[in-house]
Amino acid sequence: MQNEKTGAHAFDEACGVLEERSAFYLMLAGLYYRPLTQEQIDRMAGQDFSAYATGEELLDEGFDDIRRALRKRHTGTRSILATEWTSTFGGAEAYKGRYCVPEASLFLDKSGLTYGPARNEVSRVYREQCLRLEDGAGMAESHLTFELEFLSVLSDATAEHLRAGEVDEAVRLIDLSRQFVEEHVLTWFPQLQELALAMLKTRFYKGVMKITKGYLELDLRTLDELEAEVQRS
């Protein structure tokens, strides 16, 4: 009985980590989807970002950038951020002939086709998990928004399987999450970040880029730790 309780407790902790991970990926996904509303800006400005202090350099720098950028959010911040999102991530402007739309094909496919091999590959992964984009999404499956949202969905599913005692399936999804980060996000995100940092002028989205990169790198270690914990239990 003691071992069963220990295992259940370990799964509770793992599920908590997975739920936090899901929420964080969903938050990041929204930042790349469209310009922020005033409500979103006010909500972020009211957050205590010190709670996210991790000792991870990129994450800590990124949250500090966001905190500083939102200190004077009633001085036209929403308009400034909307313009910057549109010119950079919305593709309204180019930098040395290159567009910074967060779409994998622009960085992985020399043809620059939005619906090219990168999109087809992530579509296959989504289908294998019985997922597809809602009609009218207006962006390819390999847009960063959907890749990050997919990681959130996988995290929720992993927690559900752990609660049901389906350890093998939970481990499979942890492995899939790791593989997806390595093979479908980090293969092109550093190029996006480099281009974005050359184009961005304000601290807010520079901070978003740092947080995204830092969290992806941290997440790979988190997944390793989760898998080891689950298998021990």
pLDDT in tens, 169-208: 999 999 999 999 999 999 999 999 999 999 999 999 999 9
pLDDT at 9: 62
pLDDT, tens only, 124-172 = 999 999 998 876 567 899 999 999 999 999 999 999 999 999 999 999 9
Please give the Cα distance from 7 to 63 (Å, whole number): 35
Question: Residue 6 has what pLDDT?
Answer: 47
CA 132, CA 115: separation in Å to the nearest integer?
Answer: 15
Per cent of the chain over pLDDT 90 is 75
Residue 81 has pLDDT above 60, yes or no: yes
- Apex 22 CA angle, 100 and 109, nearest 5: 30
**Across 51-55, 72-76, 144-148, least confident range:** 51-55
pLDDT in tens, 103-126: 999 999 877 677 788 899 999 999
3-12, 92-101, 145-154 — which is least confidently predicted? 3-12
19-23, 41-45, 208-212, range with the lowest pLDDT: 41-45
pLDDT score at 135: 63
Q: For the chain, what's the residue count?
A: 233
Tokens representing residue 181 in the block:
């980060």
Model confidence band, residue 51 (pLDDT cutoffs 50, 70, 90): low
Q: What is the pLDDT of residue 1?
A: 31
pTM to 2 decimals?
Answer: 0.92
Q: How many CB atoms lie within 10 A of CB 83?
A: 16
Q: Return d(Cα 103, Cα 145) in angstroms, integer.
A: 9
Give me the phi and psi of 71, to 5 degrees please.
-60, -35
31 vs 138: which has the higher pLDDT: 31
Tokens of 164: 């049901």
Quote the CA–CA distance of 178 and 148 in Å, as a whole number.
Answer: 12
Given pLDDT bands bounded at 50, 70 and 90, which one contains residue 4? very low
Half-sphere exposure at residue 67, Cβ-oriented, CA atoms within 13 angstroms: 13
Of residues 47 and 9, more confidence is placed in: 47
